[in-house]
Amino acid sequence: MSGDRGTLLFVHEGATFRVADGAQPPKAGSLLFCRHLHAEPGDRVLEIGTGIGLAAVRLALAGARVIATDVVEAAVRCARDNAILNGVADRVEVRRGDAFAPAAGLTFDLICTSPPQMPTPPDRERADAMAAADNGGRDGWSLLDRVIAGAPAHLRPGGRFNLAAGTPHAEVYGPEGAIYWVARR
């Protein structure tokens, strides 16, 4: 037997994504998030927490110029590879870093994120890629609070901020935990 575990591919709306070791495959929430993202050709977009690059590639295929960020190095490499695989590497720049740090001083027509938001007790915190994609801190608001607070400073006039909030935040965003428009500048 060989040690080759194969390659996990994910096909979505005509685009193909390779899911590299250390990166998470998209979940149902990612697909819901992507269904509600819309960009015009030429829009400048910031995606925080890109994962494998699903949203970034979709937005670039629509003609947007995207800066996609993630804190997980494997996800950053995977998103770059997927931009190349789908022919949009000239419109997707993937940067490693937390929240708005990789885009300091820049403004955007659209800021979007489907951030980690599962409440995680302090004694259960982990540092692996799976945890980085799910750990929302003690109450699930660790990253949500920061991106909500920081978005207005990074939006161009008329810009939009789109985030996905899941069922842990149903009391704020409704029983479906639906996409919620937080800011429009």
How do residues 88-124 score in pLDDT, each as one tens digit?
999 999 999 999 999 999 999 999 998 876 677 777 7
What's the rounded mean pLDDT across residues 13-31?
87
How do residues 139-153 score in pLDDT, each as one tens digit?
766 778 888 889 999
Q: For residue 44, name the pLDDT band (cuts at 50, 70, 90).
A: very high
Q: Domains in the chain, start-ordered, CATH in brackets?
A: 8-184 (3.40.50.150)
Pairwise pLDDT comparison (101 vs 171), residue with the higher score: 101
Lowest mean pLDDT among 81-90, 149-158, 174-183: 174-183
What percentage of the chain carries pLDDT values higher than 70?
77
Pairwise pLDDT comparison (136 vs 30), residue with the higher score: 30
User: Encoding tokens for residue 102?
Assistant: 């990789």
DSSP, res 116: -
- Distance CA(185)–CA(176), nearest Å, equals 26
Predicted local distance difference test score (pLDDT) of residue 184:
53
Predicted local distance difference test score (pLDDT) of residue 170:
46
Q: Which residue has the tokens 């704020």?
A: 172
Burial class (CB in 10 A: 0-12, 13-18, 19+), 14: exposed
